[in-house]
């Protein structure tokens, strides 16, 4: 279902990899959105780089994490238990096309980077 939703999104480059450094991918200048399960580390990395998110939370803290990101205007969340192909496609399209998601993600990134001094100092 996820693959069929992604197939309906216009893409310039697709590839399959067993593993990719997530932080490097989020830091790439052309990354426009991040599909995540909503784990804490992934959310912190997305916030650090100012990348808006589409959450597919599974268990534990993930659903609550995505509720917080949605409330901050930096994400949308899709319930996997009731998801249709169109739901993921539409959420991803909205997060990419609606400027407010990127603006809110960048605002959170700015707050995250605003530190009075380097922790090593």
**pTM score, two decimals?**
0.88
CB-CB contact of 87 with 77 (8 Å): no
Q: What integer pLDDT is reported at residue 7 of this predicted model?
A: 78
List the domains of the chain with CATH numbers: 31-112 (3.40.50.2000)
pLDDT, position 9: 78
Residue 3 has what pLDDT?
Answer: 79
What was the pLDDT predicted at 13?
Answer: 62
Instruction: Give the model confidence (pLDDT) of 30-61 as tens digits.
Output: 999 999 999 999 999 999 999 999 999 999 99
Residue 35 three-state SS = strand
Q: How far is Cα 31 from Cα 5, in angstroms, rounded to an integer?
A: 18
């Amino acid at each position: 279902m996820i693959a069929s939703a992604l197939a309906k999104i216009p893409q310039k480059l697709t590839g399959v990899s067993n593993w990719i450094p997530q932080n490097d991918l989020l830091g790439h200048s052309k990354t426009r959105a991040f599909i995540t399960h909503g784990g804490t580390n992934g959310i912190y990395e997305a916030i650090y780089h100012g990348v808006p998110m589409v959450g597919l939370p599974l268990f534990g803290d993930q659903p609550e994490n995505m509720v917080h990101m949605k409330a901050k205007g930096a994400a949308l969340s899709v319930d996997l238990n009731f998801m249709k192909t169109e739901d993921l496609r539409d959420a991803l399209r909205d997060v990419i096309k609606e400027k407010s998601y990127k603006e809110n993600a960048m605002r959170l990134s700015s707050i995250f980077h605003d530190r009075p001094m380097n922790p090593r100092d």
